[in-house]
Amino acid sequence: MKRILLTIMISALGFLAPITAVNAGENEWTFLVSTSEIVSSFALDPNISSTLFAGTRFVYKTADGGGNWTILDNGITSSFVQALVIDPNNPATLYAGTGGGVFKTTNGGGIWNSVNNGLGSIVIYALVIDPHNPSTLYAGTFGRGVFKTTNGGNNWTAVNNGVDLSGTWVKALAIDPQNPGTVYAGTASRGAYKTTNGGNDWNVINNGFTVTGGVLWNEVWSLAIDPRNPGTLYCGMQDSLFKTTNGGSNWSAVNDHLTGNVVTTIAIDPVISTTLYVGTRIAGVFKSTNGGNNWSALNNGLDDPTIHSLVVDPGDRNTLYVGVGWAFGAIHKYTQATSEPAVLQINAGLNGSWFYPGTNGQGFFIDVFPVLGEMFVAWFTFDTEHPDESVMANLGHPGQRWLTAQGAYADNQAVLDIYMSGGGLFDTRPPIPTVEKDGTLTFEFTDCETGTVTYDIPSIGRKGVIPIERISDDNVGLCQSLDELAQELQ
């Protein structure tokens, strides 16, 4: 008797420095402002993306997307701001990591106060903030490892169990946005570390960090974590970019057009996280639209290829800011043109059943929720005969019954997090749902009738790309009319 495999996979201010920006066209960099020193960090207001803070000798702020800038230096007694983070729940609160410890503002940069109890006047290279509990932060320091505060900087404690502090410093930090007890640290000479218990213990995660001749390369310049799938991280090294899809257990190089470049900074599109950008020390900015497999230069109009910092505007994901320069710095802005011809705008007209033409009976059920900006998908396969009750629905291991996935969409693409659900046999009690995330499922629509699906399920080592078509054309007209409306509103 044939087996049914049912798998639903889815898952007080300084002085004003007004700058009249050059009216550049799309797809090129525009000079915004010169700074006294290099621009080492950015922080964007999550609610008002035209409000941007930049860390240089002091903190620079713009409230109009770079048209005018204010220097915020009231209270900052240490030169050079290496790191900036903003409280996601209260954007008037920011922290600045400097050459003399951490400073904090609760009024948008008007006044800064030193918050160094337990930390001291030490060079801070990196800061990250817990998105679930913004009173918790981690600081990467020069020669003293990682420090942690759980009360907004009032007190700091060293959390270095397992970290080799000899001759190194922590240059980069990344925190898991879904499990903030998991933090990654990149060092100047010991590679990368990971903690899963909020810094109580750290483990080295250098498997795969090699260069020509198989030599381990230990200097980490930058780290970035995929906001949609936190098991995926990118690590910028001395002459390479590395990627992991399993939380650092293994790394592999993703170096197309990047070999030999110091990757100083990494920025990931907050919605379509397979789109990412890197800044390099001598070759400018590069962009990838396929998770790092391929890269192309993004340097039109950029007058200095020395990149220190890079950020994507979450309110307008086609807008980027970079900090450039050697002894003196500058900030540039880039606005990407929308795709031409205009791509399909995902809408509720895509709802319904789709199938994979290369099979007899494999398909997808799609639900788009425009109010939420979310999409849900079920992926199902089956044979023609029903199995007996001894046959379990397996995908990867016994007891697993189905996967589900949902996630955000933008333009013609949706990137979904796959979740595993398990329990039960066919025709018996309902399965017990779980919330264990297990990969990504990416939908990209060519038009209202065709598209492609890219899947990656690390736990069972399965990945690939398949085409999809509609089963019924009932919703095609609705899809086309909704797409036309969306294009007019853009």
Q: What confidence tens digit (pLDDT) does each residue in 305-354 have? A: 999 999 999 878 889 999 998 778 999 999 887 644 467 899 999 999 99
Whether residue 288 is found in the same domain as residue 157: yes
Q: 329 in a domain, yes or no?
A: yes
Residue 72 in domain: yes
* Cβ count near 54 (within 10 Å): 28
Domain housing 398: 348-489
Q: How far apart are CA 59 and CA 62, in angstroms?
A: 10
Both 270 and 217 in one domain: the answer is yes
- Please compute the mean of the pLDDT values over residues 280-292 and round it to a whole number: 91
Both 317 and 437 in one domain: the answer is no
Q: What is the mean pLDDT of residues 459-482?
A: 84
Say what the pLDDT of residue 4 is.
28
Does the pLDDT of residue 298 top 60, yes or no? yes
Residues forming a β-bridge with 443: 414, 453
Same domain for 184 and 46? yes
Q: What is the CATH number of the domain that holds 192?
A: 2.130.10.10
- Within 10 Å of residue 1's Cβ, how many Cβ atoms? 9
Token digits for 406? Answer: 């949902």
pLDDT tens readout for residues 169-182: 999 999 998 889 99
On average, the pLDDT of the chain sits at 83
**328 and 364 inside one domain:** no
Backbone angles phi and psi of 351, in degrees to 5:
-60, 145
Structural domain contains residue 431: yes
* Cα–Cα nearest to 313, from 299, 334, 291, 282: 334
Task: Give the global pTM.
Answer: 0.71
Whether 186 maps to a domain, the answer reads yes
**CATH number for position 465:** 2.40.160
pLDDT in tens, 12-70: 233 334 433 444 457 899 999 998 789 999 999 988 888 999 999 889 999 999 999 99
DSSP 297-314: E--TT-S---EEEEEE-T
Q: Does 239 score more than 50 pLDDT?
A: yes
Tokens in use for 346? 């995902």
Question: How many domains does the chain contain in total?
Answer: 2
Residues 110 and 254 in one domain: yes
Residue 460 backbone phi and psi in degrees, to 5: -115, 5
Identify the pLDDT of residue 216: 57
In this predicted structure, what is the pLDDT of residue 99?
A: 92
Distance CA 239, CA 219 (A): 9
Q: Are residues 103 and 174 in the same domain?
A: yes
What's the mean pLDDT in 120-132?
A: 93
